[in-house]
Amino acid sequence: MNVIIVGFGFIGRKLVRAFYKKIDLIRNVDASFKVIGVSDSKGYLYDSKGLDLERLSYVKRLSEYSGKYREGGSTEEIIEKGEADLMVEATPTNINDGEPGLSFIKAALKKGIHVVTSNKGPLVVAFKELTSLAEKNDCLLLYEGTVAGAVPVFSLVRKCLQGDIIRRIVGILNGTTNYILSRMYFEGTSFELALKEARERGLTERDPSYDVDGIDAACKAVILANALMNRNVKFEDVKRTGIRRVTQEAISLAKKSKFAIKLISTIDKHIEVSPKLVPINHPLCVHGTLNAIHIETDLAREITLIGHGAGEETVSAVLNDVLTVMKETASPI
């Protein structure tokens, strides 16, 4: 399988490193696996014989790899070459129009290239359009890394709950707000100080309102609703309240009654993101930057997944999606 990686930032670089470290495991699944192209915002590297993963995993910028870097070249060009079987898309999230990722994903699917993405933007803006395009072109479109980082919610439902109807999903889908609320709960910190610390630790988005006003959690709720509950909802359909007005007094009062205040995304008839009281012994009541997803179904009844919602751990989800594409598209011997 010939792979191209679009975006060589945090996720793109960590993925290359994971490919290099786990090359034996990967080649056991697909002996012909190679990365033939990688692009960033300024250009790309391309070699149809395969790039050197060891060298690539030690460079910070693509231009440091070799003279092969084609500055000014675009991602569209490497998609158009038509030699890739799979594109991993990891460009910045843009929930206004999904770009640039949306155009890249559409171009790849139209060309019959399978897609794995960690980018919420295109899925929030055009979920149905993209899944229909993938189906029409007989391609897989996998996006495990877009919601709750390393927590394998889509794979679990797709593989293990095929006969269940998902009735309701409730989750803590934003690690930054969970960190802030946990600091307020355990250390009596004010919201302002906890937010400042989160920023200093690099936990917030560039614009922290994405986290604290529930925008990021709402995007993830939209993806979960569309992917797992067969809905066709948009960001505007989410009723949203962030955590700016959660006071230390409210948290202390809740604590006395054995509750914590958490930013909860609820997907049932309606979709809502808002601070809610959660009993401290409920499986959803996780702290720090952890994420949790509680799924209610007709047969299994209740399942809760807990894990790391962002950071290096997300590469686990992206790599697993890549292996899934390899396994599901392998031709029978």
Ligand X SMILES: NC(=O)c1ccc[n+]([C@@H]2O[C@H](COP(=O)([O-])OP(=O)(O)OC[C@H]3O[C@@H](n4cnc5c(N)ncnc54)[C@H](OP(=O)(O)O)[C@@H]3O)[C@@H](O)[C@H]2O)c1
Shortest Cβ 169–ligand X spacing (Å): 19
Q: With binding defined as CB under 6 A, does residue 42 bind ligand X?
A: yes
Q: With binding defined as CB under 6 A, does residue 8 bind ligand X?
A: yes
| Of residues 270-329, those binding ligand X (CB under 6 A) | 310-311, 314
Shortest Cβ 94–ligand X spacing (Å): 8
Of all residues in the shown chain, the one whose CB is closest to ligand X is 9
User: Which amino acid makes up residue 261?
Assistant: I
- Taking the least distance from each CB to ligand X, the nearer of 73 and 164 is 73
Percent helix, percent strand, percent coil in the chain, to nearest 5: 40, 20, 35
- Taking the least distance from each CB to ligand X, the nearer of 120 and 276 is 120
Radius of gyration of the chain (CA): 20
Distance CA 124, CA 142 (A): 14
Catalytic (active site) residue 258: no
- Tokens linked to 99: 């770009």
- Taking the least distance from each CB to ligand X, the nearer of 118 and 297 is 118
Prior bond of 100 cis (ω within 30°) = yes
Q: Taking CB under 6 A as the rule, which mask of x and - marks residues 113-142 in contact with ligand X?
A: -----xxx----------------------
Residues 6 or more apart in contact with residue 275 via CB below 8 angstroms:
181, 241, 242, 243, 246, 261, 262, 263, 264
Residues 6 or more apart in contact with residue 333 via CB below 8 angstroms:
none
The catalytically annotated residue of 34, 106, 220, 262 is 220
Stretch that binds ligand X, among 92-100, 152-160, 175-183, 217-225 (CB under 6 A): 92-100
Residue from 149, 152, 175, 307 binding ligand X (CB under 6 A): 149
Distance CA 211, CA 179 (A): 11
Distance CA 164, CA 151 (A): 19
Catalytic residues: 220
Residues that bind ligand X (CB under 6 A): 6-12, 39-42, 75, 90-93, 100, 118-120, 145, 149, 310-311, 314
